[in-house]
Amino acid sequence: MLNAIHRELKGELTDFGGWEMPLWYSTGSVKEHLYVIEKSGVFDIGHMDLLRVKGKEAFNLIQLCLTRNISKLGVGACGYSMILNEQGHVVDDTIVYNLGKDNLGKDEYILIVNAAMGPAVQRHLEQHNVFQDVTVTDESGCFSKIDLQGPASVAIIKRLLEKGRGTIEGLRYFQFRGDYSNPVSEIAFDGNIPILLSRTGYTGEVGFEIIMPYGKTLDVWNMILDAGGSDVIPCGLAARDSLRVGAVLPLSHQDIGNWPFVHTPWDFALPRDKEGKFTKDFIGSGIYDNPLSSYTYPFCGFDPRKTETHGTSVLWEEAPIGTVSTCAIDMAIGRMEGKIYSVASPDKPASFKPKGLVCGFVRVERPLEPGAKVTLKDSRRSIEVEIVSDIRPNRTARVGI
């Protein structure tokens, strides 16, 4: 739908799971990355898939197939979760939305899954469906998704809401309003465009994901750019990737995939109580039954130099201990006197000017502590990086709006 726009804006296009997507626009990925942290950026995320799970037993099927304990997920809330197979390997990651009951009294949930993963996740859910009244519908082709991320997004969204059709007042991180497929959705954009608006995103910054009827994609894209003026620029996949790494979020099939989902920075997607025990059974809940074989950690380097993402070894005390799953540059951060600052850090030194730092994830065969130094080695170079517990400081995702 937006392909012509991407060309007109001089997008550097690439193939992404069968979709032609912009890597960056004419402003370049560095400026796009910084814009999302300081003002806002708009992303065409129409390639994601959407499944609607509906029925009296929708809760049971989702509770069985997702790692998240959704008994605590209220109506109007959404949550990040993994979908594992029986071996505890990741099928996909997802955000699950609890829409509550429809007018027939049936529970309704939406799962947003990764590009081209709709059919595979639908198959996975159907294979494990031992319940009576529940259907899984792939709504790919019916909807589109545009993300607006960054501190200026709040004011831009407010300008676009149709009068009397909803508000974002009090909307908290991981809450949503409305349903794009409901013509009388409780929240709509100008021109009576029903939307599902969630306060979520993949950048680590305050922002929104907007799901709209497919035919309204171009209208919404243009409305955002008009309403945002100089506070918003279109951003491509490269900025999305570098922003998400700085926010310590995984990329499907790259940082999470067909290997045991244990000892990762995303353990928070597992349903643990205060003692660390699982609060429910789910497909893959025996993930600790097999011998542990890998540990995933975020790392951050000391300058912007990066290695290849694929085929790079991780060395510890000169011995190979694993591989790099993601290697990118967060252009908004830099180190001064041993500490990482971001352009958004309120305590940054007056002379701070970020040059960017290499960052990403390693998958290694032994545990490492934050502060440990490892070497990334590809065919071209060796660089020393530090294992860290977080990457870009002072992210704004959770600020009050």
Partner 1 sequence: MKSFEELDIRDDLFYAQTHEWVKKTGGNARIGVDDYAQSSLGDVVYVELPSMGTAVTAGASFGSLESTKAVSDVNSPVTGKIVAVNEALSDNPDLVNTSPYEDGWIIEVEMADSKELDALMKSDAYLAFLKTLDPVD
Which residues form the interface with partner 1 (CB under 8 A)? Answer: 12, 23-24, 28-31, 238, 242, 303-306, 328-329, 331, 355-356, 380-381
Whole-angstrom Cα distance, residue 262 to residue 141? 34
72 vs 380 by CB, closer to partner 1: 380
Least distance in Å: CB of 254 to partner 1?
16
* CB hemisphere CA count around 400 (13 angstroms): 1
Least distance in Å: CB of 395 to partner 1?
20
24 vs 43 by CB, closer to partner 1: 24
Whole-angstrom Cα distance, residue 106 to residue 102? 5
Least distance in Å: CB of 276 to partner 1?
39
Least distance in Å: CB of 174 to partner 1?
29
281 vs 303 by CB, closer to partner 1: 303
Least distance in Å: CB of 31 to partner 1?
8
22 vs 178 by CB, closer to partner 1: 22
CB contact at 8 A, 352 and 337: no
Least distance in Å: CB of 329 to partner 1?
6
125 vs 383 by CB, closer to partner 1: 383
- State CA 339 to chain mean position distance: 26
Whole-angstrom Cα distance, residue 61 to residue 286? 18
Least distance in Å: CB of 327 to partner 1?
10
Least distance in Å: CB of 81 to partner 1?
30
173 vs 302 by CB, closer to partner 1: 302
306 vs 395 by CB, closer to partner 1: 306
